[in-house]
Amino acid sequence: MSIAVEVFDSRRNQLGEGPTATGPNNNHVQWCDIYGQFIRSKDLLSGQSSEYQTSEPVGFQIPRTSGGDILGTANGPVLRDEKGNLTQLPTRQEADGFVDKNVLRWNDAKVSPDGYLFLGSMAYENQSNEGAFYRLSKDGKKLQRLFGDVGISNGMDWSTDLSKMYYIDTLTMKVEVFDYNKGEISNRRTLVQVKDGMGYPDGMCADANDNIWVAFWLGSAVRCFDGRTGELLEEIKLPVQKVTSCCFAGEKLDQLIITTAVGNPGESMDLNEYPQAGFIFIASAGVTGKKTTTFGA
C-alpha cells in the first residue's frame, strides 16, 4: 500500500531544504528556502506560520538550544538570536587556510546527537570536487575541515547507538557510511549505490530503527533503505520532481516532513505540469523517527 502525502505548507520555495522539528512535542517545523533567502516555519498543531529573510542564500538552518538559529549563509555560518542579531562564526577560509577557488556556499548541515555541527559545502556551478565537509565545535568556536573533493555535500544522520554516520555527496550517486566516535569519522564505505532512473540522492534522515529516508532530486520520491544492508524498503511518491530533504515531526515523531524545490536559479520549471513544486509535504510514514538535535552555542 502506497503512503499518502498531503501539502503541509503551500508557500512556494525556490529551493526548500533542511527541515527541522523542535519545540513542544516537536511541532515547530522549520526549513530554509536557499535561493529565496527565507527561513520559514509552521506549527504542526496550530497551523501558525512565520518567516524571515536572510541577506544571502542560506544553505541550512538549525534552531539553537538557547533560542534563535544557526544559519548557513553563503559566507557564514552565523548565529542569529531571537531579535535577529547576527554573530559571525569561523569561516571556510579560516578552516581551510585558503580562499575558495570558485564561488561556494554551504548546502546542508545537521547537529549530531552528541552536539557537534557537521556541515558541507558545494560550488554554485556544481563542480564535482570543490566542496568539502566540516565539523563545528559544540561551542561554535572551531571549524575544522574533515575532507575535500566533495561535489554537493548533502544529507547526513547517525545510528541510534552513535556508532555510524550516514552521509550523501549527491554527485557520487551513493549513500555512504562512516564509523563514528565522539565527533570523529573514519572507515568511509558505500551503503547504497543509487540505480539509474532513481534521481539524485539529496537530503535524508534516519528513523528509530536505523533505517534511512532519502529524498531524490529529479526522482519525485523519498525512499527508505535499511541502514545496515542498504536494501530498499519503502517508497513515498510525490507530485513534484525535485524532492530535497525530510525530517520526522510531531509528538510521536511519526510524521515525515518533506521539502521540495522549483529548482536552482536559471532552471525552468513547468508549473502547469508540477503546480505544487516548492511546496512542503507531510506523510505518515508508519515508523517512529528521531528528534532534531538543536545547536548548543
Taking every pair of C-alpha atoms in the chain, what is the biggest distance, in angstroms?
A: 52
Burial label, 29 (beta-carbon count in 10 A; 0-12, 13-18, 19+): buried
Cα separation of 97 and 99, whole Å?
A: 7
C-alpha R_g of the chain: 17
User: Is 169 considered catalytic here?
Assistant: no
Q: Where are the beta strands (DSSP E) in 28-182?
A: 28-33, 38-43, 49-53, 58-63, 69-73, 78-80, 86-88, 104-111, 117-123, 131-136, 143-150, 153-158, 164-169, 174-181
Among 21, 16, 12, smallest CA distance to 62 is for 21
Active site residue: 33, 157, 169, 202, which one?
202
Cα separation of 56 and 73, whole Å?
A: 6
Among 97, 55, 98, 61, smallest CA distance to 75 is for 55
C-alpha cell at 18: 533542511
Angle at 157 between CA 267 and CA 113, to 5 degrees: 135
Cα separation of 284 and 153, whole Å?
A: 28
C-alpha cell at 190: 558505500
Q: Any idea which residues carry the catalytic annotation?
A: 202
